[in-house]
Homo-oligomer: A and B are copies of this chain.
Amino acid sequence: MSTQPSTSATAAPSGRTLEHPDRSAIRLEAVLHALSDPMRLRVVRALASHGSEMACSDVELDVSKSTCTHHFRVLREAGVISQIYRGTSKMNGLRRADLDMIFPGLLDSVLAAAEGEERRLGTAR
């Protein structure tokens, strides 16, 4: 509902703004669902390892642009990432502080699990 920028003048470096769920509105099921897609999990892992913001096009997903937009939106609406427009790009950042506050340890164990799984599958397949 209403993903429209509308007439807001909130300190975004660009005119456009995006709706993010408030920290208290983040739902566990939505987060788990967002993370249960391989594509999106890869995005989250990339953001986590990179440490700071990345443009959508900096994350390597070999799918079409529209699919990419879709996944980033799911992550944002679940409260997993934050997005702001910066010039012609859209920067994405993990909402680590918010997630750690309401679901302590969750993000870290998921990231660790993802890494462990990759290692397991990579070595002893």
Contact = CB atoms under 8 A, between A and B. Distances in A.
Given A105-B112, A106-B110, A112-B105, A41 B29 contact: yes
Contacts of A10: none
A102 interface: yes
A117 interface: yes
B116 A112 contact: no
A104 B109 contact: yes
A85 B80 CA distance: 40
A19 interface: no
A37 interface: yes
Nearest to A32: B36
Contacts of A29: 36-38, 41
B36 A110 contact: no
Nearest to A24: B120
A104 B112 contact: yes
Nearest to A103: B113
Given A29-B41, A32-B110, A103-B117, 8 more contacts: A28-B41, A28-B114, A32-B41, A102-B117, A103-B113, A103-B116, A105-B112, A106-B113
